[in-house]
Structure 1
Amino acid sequence: MNKNSIFWTLVALVIGISLIYTFTGTENPELYQETIEAERERQFKFLKFNMESPLKEDQKQELDSLDFYPIDPSYKVRARMVPVANKRILEIPMTDGSIERYIRHSFAEFELAEKPVKLLLLQAEDETDLRNFFLAFADETSGEETYGGGRYLNLRQDGQSSITIDFNLAFNPYCAYNPDFACPIPPRENILEIPIKAGEKNYDK
């Protein structure tokens, strides 16, 4: 094989690997682990030190770590976005009884543990970047290993009609740490009958 052939073979290999990563959400395992750990550390530091943290001062002093499930790449999925026929405003009840308005935008459809899953993607009424979405969900771990009011993910559309959902990044709402905060309750479409053993667990008061 001449040098030109070797070059184009390597180019094809790189492109092939890139396509696999794009469509499967797979990446270097060590880099993926480091990325999730870095985000979890950022989350801890925000709660511990930031002025806008929902934690009270005594909570900040006592906080030495957050509790997470082990990082599991199988909980990172590529979902197909199916637009909602009527993108009407949905009034989401908050934990304090008030209402917050979101746009019913799309359903994210994918498989998890060989089971079909369909979740409603919401978009803030005043969102200026139309590729940003909010996902509030609850599952069979809610109220047991994880916060009873559900968990959240901030998502960004990364394909023409697809989006990556990584449950390893699922985080607790502010009201999980401090009941003085009001948080959106997951819509009925996002109450899952399966356990999502990924992301943040209950805050240990």
Structure 2
Amino acid sequence: MRRRLDLSRPVPIELVEECLTVALQAPSGSNTQRWHWLVLTDPEIRRAIGELYRRSCTAYLESPGAAGKLFADDPVRGPVQERVGKSVAYLAERMGDVPVLVIPCLRVPGGLGGGNQAGTWGSLLPAAWSYMLAARARGLGTAWTTLHLRYEKEAAELLGLPDDVYQGALIPTAYSLGVGFNPAPREPLAKVMHRDRW
């Protein structure tokens, strides 16, 4: 999807709001609903966040764990990973040009502590994914990204976030170029499903 975002077509804010309204139906721990949504449409702010993302992505792409370098010896997975790596690089150079950037956030009074991080983030991530599915159903493309969080503090300052609000992702949102989507290559279910015991 990273290469299929239409950077030239504006996205109506009403359509984004419709998708976020769907997202608010997602579950949250103890029904706290501590989510908040930054919807970035201002070109200068998008460019600034895009630059943080690009800087972080440059370091990521040079690391041994970059998507394009994984499974290099596997004749099936290697080429897939190489395409993923190229799409990551493509988006990194264009993140600031995406018409809408959505940053799902979580307000955590007292700050993020140790312990059950899954429970904490489980109150935001289903809503963010629901946003992405709602966008897909309306002809919009999205991508789940987190690389800008390497510069989370800088992004928070730029966006004026309170100290107890944490960013969960950066979701570029644009109309998609084309509507035909094939299933992504994945490991077979039998390889990753465990019944009753590992």
TM-score normalised by the chain length of structure 1: 0.31
Higher normalized contact order (CA 8 Å, seq sep 6+, divided by chain length): 2
Which has more helix, going by share of residues?
2
TM-score normalised by the chain length of structure 2: 0.32
Structure of greater Rg: 1
Which has more strand, going by share of residues?
1
